[in-house]
A and B are shown apart, each in its own frame.
Chain A
Amino acid sequence: MRTFAVALVLSAVALAGVPAVAQEGHPLKGSWIGTWAGNTVHGNDMFMVLDWNGKAITGTINPGQDNIAIKSATLNPDGWVLHFEAEGKDKAGAVINYVVDGKIENLAMHNRSVTGTWKSQRGSGAFKITRQ
């Protein structure tokens, strides 16, 4: 009987697959990977690292030699609406000002997403990043 019970539960677990992972602290904190579609200056793919220090959202896009600093960011918990502005440079050194507006989706999930739009002097398009 005991063996059968164990088999029953293990079968259930196997079928269940990987369970959802829980929500933790501030919803924006962490590493994010995604795309800003059609960005001909900084490429289609992007990485972001975001943090919350208790007063402000801080972070960097594409951390490394060509990183893009986030100048300001706000999160409105009423609808979990994100707005941030960032300043990068093209290969010639010209300043590119980015404005991104999006919304957190699947808030309760560890791998939640932000979807929305981006725009700059050089273009605009869809924006989507997923928390890692």
Chain B
Amino acid sequence: MRTSTSFRARLAALSLGAALLAVSPITAHHSILAKFDDTKAITLSGLVTLVDWTNPHVHVFMNVRDAKGQVLNWAVELESPIDLKQSGWSPETLRPGDGITVRGISARNGSRQAWARSVVVTATGREVFGVVRTPPAAPLSPRPVPKFADGQVRLGATPGASGYWAYPSATALVEDGVTVAMDPYGQLKNVGDAAKVAPMQPWSLALYQNRQRRFLQDDPTYINCKPPGGPRQMQQPFGVQFVEDRERQRIFTLIGGGNHNYRILYLDGRGQKGQVSGDDDNPLYYGRAVAKWEGDTLVVNTAGFNEDFWFTNGGLPHTDQLQLTERFTRTDFDTLKYEVTVNDPAAYTREWKATWNLRWVGGEELPVYFCQDNRP
């Protein structure tokens, strides 16, 4: 059974891997349940043929002998290279020919794909590729909020330093005061709770339920790498970074998820109008954002969204009437309070609000993540 990456084996892996992946949408950083069925546990033992260390998700290809003695190639999906690297792993953690046992869950479409919950090296018994996401340790006492010389709060790093905001305390949009069980991707444990999440109109509730029943597999960020516009950008696994350009009266928001793109918050008093030869009057993924400081809170009003994306991880609908009021308050050096008021009269019955905190990740720049990697 032990094989090497001979030309024949590589050709077989190429063909089988292509066939396996061809039957499902290309992956991105997505709800695991969109692609895999957590009621179908699977254990695979065999030999590694290839480690594909690429965003959005790492794949380990392995040869597995079935009950009839036939050797079949399987694609085992893991977290992103960033997650794995931050947890101490590298592309060399496994090499072609290594024997491994994978425990995980099977693909919904019946193809030879599995999501790995554990990978154990046969020869050593060592478990590898485990991912631990822990925010930076909190200081013993809150550190003071950093400010500019004129007393204005800094949302970004101080001169000579670096850092960004991540580890949101909530990873899906839910109205304040509501408690519903859902996974980190916004998948409800019980779709019957859908109406509790936000005050939806009948059509948007039915659409939200449909998206939930389909395990969020229609998410444009999953299928097409569409940007995580709206409050979703503040719930991405790889955070956001603020770059404050006071001379030009704007703040750049660099987004660690999606396609590592950006959003500009204008503080120069302009209206929410598109610019000729710029964004004109086209609706946008991130809308048009105008901002002002109210004391130590940055208040951002954003409108002009298009409808080509999901503005939440869980798939709450929105329309081009969506307007957001966001309030950013750095309550101490390491904590950013984010409040968003959703006003979309074409999808919701009233305004509603959600609040969560983000943690400061100091001494680092945003992880370099592009969900478009692994695509033509």
Task: Give the size range of B's interface with the partner.
Answer: 35 or more
Main DSSP-derived SS at the B contact region? loop
Which of A14, A15, A108 is in CB contact (< 8 Å) with B218? A108
Whether A20 and B25, one on each chain, are in contact in the complex, defined by CB atoms closer than 8 angstroms, is: yes
- Contacts A5-B52, A25-B347, A108-B214 given; does A13 touch B223 at CB 8 Å: no
Which B residues are CB-close (under 8 A) to A52? 319, 346
Which A residues are CB-close (under 8 A) to B157? none
Which A residues are CB-close (under 8 A) to B211? 23, 108
A residues 51-88 with Cβ under 8 Å of B? 52-54, 75, 77-78, 80
Whether A24 and B307, one on each chain, are in contact in the complex, defined by CB atoms closer than 8 angstroms, is: yes
Measured CA separation A64–B96 after assembly (Å): 64
B residues 197-224 with Cβ under 8 Å of A? 201-203, 205-207, 210-211, 214, 218-220, 223-224
Which A residues are CB-close (under 8 A) to B345? 54
A102 in the interface (beta carbon within 8 A): no
Chain A interface residue count, CB cutoff 8 Å, equals: 33
Whether A26 and B18, one on each chain, are in contact in the complex, defined by CB atoms closer than 8 angstroms, is: no
Measured CA separation A80–B210 after assembly (Å): 11
A49 in the interface (beta carbon within 8 A): no
Whether B206 and A16, one on each chain, are in contact in the complex, defined by CB atoms closer than 8 angstroms, is: no
A residues 1-51 with Cβ under 8 Å of B? 1, 4-5, 7-17, 19-27, 29
Whether B218 and A23, one on each chain, are in contact in the complex, defined by CB atoms closer than 8 angstroms, is: yes
B84 in the interface (beta carbon within 8 A): no
B19 in the interface (beta carbon within 8 A): yes
Which A residues are CB-close (under 8 A) to B210? 107-108
Whether A13 and B26, one on each chain, are in contact in the complex, defined by CB atoms closer than 8 angstroms, is: yes
Specify the chain B residue showing the minimal Cβ separation from A107. B210
Q: List 24 A-B contacts (CB under 8 A).
A: A1-B96, A4-B50, A5-B50, A8-B61, A11-B14, A12-B17, A12-B18, A15-B21, A17-B22, A20-B25, A20-B223, A21-B224, A23-B218, A24-B308, A25-B346, A26-B307, A26-B346, A26-B347, A29-B307, A52-B346, A53-B346, A54-B345, A77-B205, A108-B218
